[in-house]
Structure 1
Amino acid sequence: MTATHTLTAQDLTLGYGERTVIEGLDLAVPAGAITAIVGANASGKSTLLRSMSRLLAPRAGQVLLDGRAVHRMPAKELARTLGLLPQSPLAPEGITVADLVGRGRHPHQGIFSRWSREDDAAVAAALEATQTTELAERAVDELSGGQRQRVWIAMALAQQTDLLLLDEPTTFLDVSHQIEVLDLLTDLNRRRGTTIVMVLHDLNLAARYADHLVALESGRIHAAGDPSAVLTEDCVRAVFGLDSRVIVDPVSGKPLMLPIGRHHAEAPVPAEA
């Protein structure tokens, strides 16, 4: 198990230019758990994650890691505890997969320290976990979107932080690889106790894999807690403006959202398992 760290947002207000995206938000991330943040487009999901990783300074309020404001912490110190996979990362032109994943080890390098066997092992393990070992010598810009996404996840894993923030980690991945990535993150959480916070668009995947679900609506938390309490028909209607039926997933036992389209309003709804 990793050490327990606390990550909280207190009276957080965020925005870009004259536009306010999040205002007066309070959030406590459960330590050692998987938290999924969901919400409609422009609800503030990515903005919140950017601030929690200190990429975006707050207009008011603060984000605290173990009681310390993240925006006042030295960058390298923060990076040894908290890792981030942003929504649209950019790789230097021509960089190989192995070199990019190796950059995840930079927070652990001192001024005079050299690359170690521990670094080699961390990179190898990250490549293996994301099934990208065979891509190690290829240039990142030659890869497909799905392959690149797995490589970026490998870099985040190589960083070996106790907290990991991921903005849409399943982007560009087909259904099979989406499940593989989410299973991988679950294994990391269960095996090492890594606290994981991820933004997901797929409500059903969020409910299936999260221990704690946060639903954002127009920059405010509409509901937060156990997925069975958050993913309700009323919540889906309020947050997404969508009529739905929520039943129990017969496989996971978690809530399963079935959207109701205009042409299916009269369709029969499956009984709960």
Structure 2
Amino acid sequence: MTEQHTLVVERLVLGYGDRVVIDGLDLVIPTGRITAIVGANACGKSTLLRSMSRLLTPRGGSVLLDGKQIHKMPPKQLAQTLGLLPQSPIAPEGITVSDLVGRGRHPHQGIFSRWSTDDDAAVAAALEATGILDLAERSVDELSGGQRQRVWIAMALAQQTDLLLLDEPTTFLDVNHQVEVLDLLTDLNRARGTTVVMVLHDLNLAARYADNLVAIADGAVHAAGPAAEVLTEDCVRAVFGLDSRVIVDPTSGAPLMLPIGKHHVQA
């Protein structure tokens, strides 16, 4: 099991140039649970995740990991606790799948330490969990978009952190592999207690897999909590500007959002 860590955002202000994207946002990430962040395009979902992983320095407010400002923590100490799969990562030219996944072990390497059997085991487990063991010696350059995405997820898993942040982990994946990846993250959460925070575009997948749903709008948290409380017709209208019907998914029991298009309204 993982160690329990707290991740809290207080009065966070983020932006680019003259544009403020997140303004005074407060958020508490439930420890040992799966949180999905949703919202319209350009609402600040990925910006928030980047700040929570220290890639973006706040203009105001704080991101606190176990009560300490994350932007002041030593990078290696942070990387041993918190892992990140960013949006559209770039692999070094010519690198093999196993070598790229192995880079997830760097935070656990000391100045004089050598590659260990624990490192081998972590990489092998990550390759097997993501279904790419047969690609281990292939060049990442040769892979399809979906295969590459699974390689990046394997690298994040090999890092074996207690908190894992993922920005659109289902990008480039077909529906089958989207479900496989989200099932994998759920298994990781249930087996190890890993705290998972992910940005997702698909509302219904977010509602199905997340214990905690966070809807972002106008630079702040519009609603946060269990999916059944957050994914409502009023919330979808306020956050996405979309009329919808929300019913109970007969398979999962989670809320299921059905968009209402102007050409699909029955008289």
TM over 0.5: yes
Give the structure 2 partner of residue 271 of structure 1: none
Corresponding residue pairs, total: 267
Give the structure 2 partner of residue 74 of structure 1: 74
Counterparts of 1:135 and 1:169, CA distance in 2: 19
- TM-superposed CA distance for 1:126, in Å, is 0.1
Counterparts of 1:266 and 1:48, CA distance in 2: 39
Give the structure 2 partner of residue 21 of structure 1: 21
Amino acid aligned to 1:103: R
The gaps in structure 1 that reach 5 residues or longer are: 268-273
Deviations along 1:2-35, whole A, 9 cap, x unmatched?
1110001000000011110000000000000000
Give the structure 2 partner of residue 270 of structure 1: none
Residues 1:145 and 2:152 are matched in the alignment = no
Counterparts of 2:124 and 2:180, CA distance in 1: 18
Counterparts of 1:75 and 1:250, CA distance in 2: 45
The 5-angstrom pairing of residues 12-161 of structure 1 reads: 12-161=12-161
Amino acid aligned to 2:20: T
Deviations along 1:217-248, whole A, 9 cap, x unmatched?
12111100010000000000000000000000
Amino acid aligned to 2:241: G
The gaps in structure 2 that reach 5 residues or longer are: none
Residues 1:231 and 2:231 are matched in the alignment = yes
The 5-angstrom pairing of residues 136-215 of structure 1 reads: 136-215=136-215
Counterparts of 1:253 and 1:159, CA distance in 2: 33
SS in 2 for 1:134: helix
Contact conserved, 1:213 with 1:230, CA < 8 A, in 2?
yes
Give the structure 1 partner of residue 260 of structure 2: 260
CA RMSD of aligned residues (A): 0.6
Contact conserved, 1:42 with 1:218, CA < 8 A, in 2?
no
- TM-superposed CA distance for 1:141, in Å, is 1.1
Counterparts of 2:141 and 2:214, CA distance in 1: 34
- TM-superposed CA distance for 1:262, in Å, is 0.7
Counterparts of 1:173 and 1:158, CA distance in 2: 20
- TM-superposed CA distance for 1:89, in Å, is 0.4
Amino acid aligned to 1:109: Q
- TM-superposed CA distance for 1:163, in Å, is 0.1
SS in 2 for 1:265: coil
- TM-superposed CA distance for 1:265, in Å, is 1.3
- When normalised by structure 2's length, the TM-score is 0.99
Counterparts of 2:130 and 2:218, CA distance in 1: 34
Amino acid aligned to 1:60: G
- TM-superposed CA distance for 1:147, in Å, is 0.1
SS in 2 for 1:90: coil
